Each structure stands twice: as structure tokens, then as C-alpha cells.
Amino acid sequence: MKWIRKKRVLLVLLVSFVFLLFFNTNWMSWFYPIHYKNEIRTHADTYEVDPFLVASIIRVESNYKLSRESKMGAIGLMQLMPDTANWILEKEQMKDVTMDELKHEPDANIKIGTWYIDYLSDHFDGNPIATIAAYNAGQGNVGNWIKKGMWDGKLDTINEIPVGETRHYVQRVIYYYNQYKDIYQEF
């Protein structure tokens, strides 16, 4: 009889703990963490880019795994292609940043990636959906899709993106963006 009471007491304590834990904390952040918040916030402020967008792109590109290199050769948290990274480094005259730093240093990679998001956003007149697509497929490809009427660059026509990988990429970035906005509410 005592054993059953102890089990009930333990069960009530466990349920109470879980209840308090879930309702007094932002428990969803356990499933949708944002790493490198300071670096993201700093560079998002500098380049006037939504920090949730930067975090969402990092989540989809590398899942916050530093030093990641794709099969295609993209490097770092934001999976920058070496040619794109070199072009940005030359354009912004960042002679002190090396490709090795872009691969292994979160601050340098987030800085260059955020600059690139800002650049693409300017190119597509602030259209965040076209910007996300261009981050994956390239500015020229997305520009051609829009110019040729293959896709209009809008949220409600994502299913018309002519390349499946890019379509899926945009959907994933938007999904994480919405999750982050709901969970964190401010950055």
C-alpha cells in the first residue's frame, strides 16, 4: 500500500514539474534553438536584415554546424560558395578575412552571408521570397525566372518555382522563419 502511495506522489510531482516547466519557460525553443545570436544580431543590425531571416537561412543551410562543407563546396554556417565569398570579399574590400576564417569562424561567415542577403534583397527590391530563392539558386537564375514569367517571386506562388530543390529550400526557410518569429517574438 505504501509503495502505491509513493508512486502516486512521485507521479503527481513529475506531472507538476512538467506542467511548470512547459508553462513557465519557452520550451519550444528547445526544438528550435538559435545559436550565435550575438553575431546574427550584430550583422543583421549592420546590414538592416531581419535577424530571424538570417537565423532561418543558417538553420536550413547548416543547422548551425560550424565548419560544414557541402558536396558542392559551400562553406561555413551560411554555406557560402567560394566564388561568391571571394566576390563579396573583393567588393567590400575585406582583405583581412580569409576563406579559412569563413569556414571556421562564425562571425566572419555570418557577416559575409548577411551582407549577401542584404545585397540580394536590394537587387530584388526588398522581396524576401525572391531573396531567399536567390540565396539558394543564384541571383541570375531567379532573375531569369521572374523576367521570363516562370515565377513571380511571391509567397503564394512558391509551388511555381521551376527547380524543386529551390522550391523546397524556400519553403523550409519560411517554415523556420515563422517558427522563430512565433517562439522568440523578438531577437
Catalytic residues: 61
In this structure, what C-alpha cell is assigned to residue 127?
Answer: 522581396
Residue 29 cell numbers, joined? 525553443
Task: Strands of the chain (E only): list them.
Answer: none
Torsion of CA 176, 179, 185, 187, to 10 degrees: -30
Residues with Cβ within 8 Å of 130's Cβ and at least 6 positions away in sequence, in order, are 120, 124, 142, 146, 153
**Beta carbons within 8 Å of 12's beta carbon, 6+ residues apart:** none
DSSP letters of 106-161? HHHHHHHHHHHHHHHHHHTTT-HHHHHHHHHH-HHHHHHHHHTTS----GGGGGG-
